[in-house]
Chains A and B, each alone.
Chain A
């Protein structure tokens, strides 16, 4: 093949290519592909679009495609359900955009000391939020974190049964079903739709001797706040099972840490902590637990430990890699690979910026804005907010009385007003059309009032 000029492939140019071929004493690179049988070789060229090697052409092309999207700059987004519109501080972007972090990979104690410290600090800051001593680096997402924790809890208890709340996030439940398929199928415990509270009698009934792990969301998927945490944990533990709680870490400036009321594992998504939504690419999870060797042994991820450096400083080392699927291979009980560490560094920046006061203030701001929004929406004729008299965090259910109304149709009509309405939870709610509305610190009074006015017009 002829020489090829491109800045990403310097040695494809004629000069260097010639030098390399000469150094190897071969006339053509074909000689190096001798191991690949001729009948497996690509004949001709791949059917790909004509390339845009000039940077300005490439940038224009991709930017033109991206400009066909509309985002938070164009629309009022009242959608959460696993990925939430929050403010991203400039410094989070600044640090996650640093080339040293962005292009680092598997460097160890000495070559990537800074990366390892940043991720240790991520572990530490999440540990401070959830009140636990062991925290993993970022995992793939919240569901993946919960899945790993549930199967870990089952291995610790020597049982296989998994119990989940009936009103949990259905997409996350789907991920869970897939992951635990070889060992169990999750069984649902009733939640009172009117309050979002777990049905303790049903929990007791479901806590058979085979149950190893119980999952609970706090806040619940529908935004409600579970107030019986300690009673739930007590029952779970009395039955010999372990409690895995999925949290919104941003709520932990105002809500009690689940470890305080008995959670054995705490999991969640860090996207709210200074990470853009990125069409869902902003999601990343974490797993936290107590500092017990039997629990740590079941964690699937790398863990960064502090360790003494000569001369009195602190360094960082990857702990106990023999736990991970890299070492256990065909005996692996969970798997691990490249995860979402860059977002962990972003979340560490975020929590460092906010501090204890900021996180508490932000939690309160979100509760005030979402409550104001819920009340504003509930005043629209034909709209109800079933949990209006209960505490909720960031998200709340909205139902519609209008005969024949569907969330799809309402959202389409809202879009004409430049508004992305709530996530459709009609199937989960089973009481007519229902959407899960999300209100964060980014929604000011004007935005919320616009939502209420648009809803009124759409439903009139």
Chain B
């Protein structure tokens, strides 16, 4: 049996803050001087700025040599558990291998040092990729047109809300259609962004199968329904087989249906949003399509729509006239721009390269393997003492992830899912994702293996969870006080939640550090209801 990684210790450099490395006079980079002719021609350009508008004292940036800056950030990198370093099965995040060749491709000067406002004649390569990938995404999703402008899943879901708003506004119905329906286990952005866009939001709660019953939708739909926005499978990994009926019911009252495909990895080549009747959908290219998560971004949501909604997509849209690609900026019905320019173009290029590497057979292999891996983990994790699988009535296989529960373990030992999360780091793996809000599963943990990992890596994760569960039963203090081998000793995060003590910058830290030793206010309760 595979053993957990014993004896691990993360790099712990005790690296000071960069400001605290400052040495007067040290230089990291010289901006260079202007040529004498420029100086002669421009004179003292700064003197033209009135004194009261000029900076009186230089900004309090550190003075550090270049080599020390290299070391500083390299050490910080070493204290970060990226997917390149270790196993990360954070549920809902679709962590997977980001091919290195993509990084080398996008560093090309003719992509990196290109201005978005250049004449399309000089952007033919990037426009070709955007155009072709648009058609490929249409094939993958069963949609008619995509935009890659949104820079994250949440922004893509927000875009869906704006498109639904524009559609009803164009029909003169927005005033009386002001409700969006979502589900409790859809990503929080499916509830949040329509509210930001001006809608009231109704959240359907799960039934005995772990997802909402059709009856719950029946009770929620009305002539006020503007749309349905949800994930399927939900963040529990459970697929709602009545999804077609959900869509039809919302269509029957005149609403639109937006499919959040943040959990789309198990469905590539298997089932398409368009075929289920959805009018809009969105994929996260930084998750499902392998573009790296970038330490929380550079993301990209590919937002796809059916024909009737095409005219509402934000400008510019890439066009093809014979053999030349162009940008259509003249779109009178379009929603307002969601993000600057064309979005995170390098992220789209990486996603394009990924699909080009795999092809249709490969995408299906990705989906099936992600599902296979997940069910292998499930079969093993469910045997770990202290684990429960919610909604036992639902015997259908899970798709790409599972929301598990440590409730039995917590009842037996007092150890919490958050403590186990912190203990995982001691074994040299990235921690799991407990749960989004609302926390309906007691002591939740959510695991999504993806398709990149070998059986050995999965066995290692299983062994790690089993070892920690055993510790909870046999020596719970070890888990209560974890982590022990991380890049930093245990941190008092109550300090970070109290206005009297939190410090978001070095300058704030200088003022408030003294308050860290004082007794804290009641406001400094630790977050999280699990």
- Chain A contacts for B26, CB-based, 8 A: 355
Q: Is B153 a contact partner of A281 (Cβ separation < 8 A)?
A: no
Which residues of chain A from 35 to 70 have a CB within 8 Å of any chain B CB?
Answer: 35-37, 39-42, 45-53, 55, 58-59, 61-63, 65-70
Verify B491–A55 contact, CB threshold 8 A: no
Q: Contacts A11-B455, A102-B84, A227-B50; is A67 near B125 (CB within 8 Å)?
A: yes
Min CB–CB distance A210 → chain B (angstroms):
18
Give the contacting residue for A364; candidates B15, B46, B451, B497; CB below 8 A. Answer: B46
Residues of A49-103 contacting chain B, CB below 8 A: 49-53, 55, 58-59, 61-63, 65-75, 77, 79, 81-83, 85, 88-89, 91, 93-95, 97-103
Asked if A81 contacts B244 (CB within 8 A), the reply is no
Closest B residue to A303 by beta carbon equals B504
A1-53 with Cβ < 8 A to chain B: 1, 4, 6, 8-12, 16-17, 19-21, 23-24, 29, 31-37, 39-42, 45-53
What is the CA–CA distance of A262 and B312 in the complex, to the nearest angstrom? Answer: 39
Question: Could you tell me which residues of chain A, from 190 to 246, have a CB within 8 Å of some CB in chain B?
Answer: 225-227, 229-230
A291 at the interface (CB under 8 A from B): yes
Residues on A with C-beta less than 8 A from B491 are 109-110, 307-310, 315-317
**Per-residue 0/1 for A133-158: is the Cβ within 8 Å of any B Cβ (1 yes, 0 no)?**
11101101111100000000000000
Contact across chains for B154 and A318 when beta carbons are under 8 A apart: no
Chain A 89-129: CB-based contact to B (< 8 A → 1; otherwise 0): 10101110111111111111111111101111101111111
* CB nearest neighbor in A for B494: A307
With A254-B49, A317-B491, A359-B59 in contact, do A140 and B295 touch (Cβ < 8 Å)?
Answer: no
Indicate if the CB atoms of A97 and B495 lie closer than 8 Å: no
Q: State how many angstroms separate the Cβ of A198 from the closest Cβ of chain B.
A: 14
From known contacts A46-B360, A106-B93, infer whether A113 and B488 are also in contact, taking CB-CB under 8 Å. yes
Interchain CB contact under 8 A, B339 and A71: no
How many A-B pairs have beta carbons closer than 8 Å: the answer is 754
**Is B117's CB under 8 angstroms from A81's CB?**
yes
Residues of A contacting B188 in the complex (Cβ-Cβ under 8 angstroms) = 325-327, 329, 332
| In the complex, B115 has a CB within 8 A of chain A | yes
Q: Determine if B146 is an interface residue (Cβ-Cβ < 8 Å).
A: no
B423 (CB) vs chain A CBs: closest residue: A110
The reply to whether the CB of A426 lies closer than 8 angstroms to some CB of chain B is: no
Q: Does B197 contact A (CB under 8 A)?
A: yes
Tally of A interface residues using CB under 8 Å: 218
Q: Does B411 contact A (CB under 8 A)?
A: no
Partner of B357, one of A20, A37, A53, A279: A53
Q: A62-B129, A369-B38 are in contact. Are A140 and B276 (CB under 8 A)?
A: no
Do B78 and A100 have beta carbons less than 8 Å apart? yes
Q: Can you list 18 A-B pairs with a CB-CB distance of less than 8 A?
A: A6-B357, A51-B359, A58-B101, A75-B122, A106-B93, A110-B483, A118-B73, A120-B17, A127-B505, A140-B155, A280-B345, A305-B496, A325-B154, A335-B196, A369-B34, A391-B53, A415-B119, A420-B117
Contacts A45-B360, A59-B105, A65-B128 given; 15 further ones with Cβ under 8 A?
A: A51-B358, A58-B357, A62-B349, A71-B110, A106-B90, A112-B295, A143-B337, A175-B337, A278-B106, A315-B488, A338-B152, A340-B298, A341-B295, A358-B31, A448-B38
Which 9 pairs, one residue from A and one from B, show the smallest C-beta to C-beta distance?
A: A280-B341, A337-B154, A51-B359, A178-B336, A182-B198, A114-B79, A99-B84, A315-B491, A332-B192
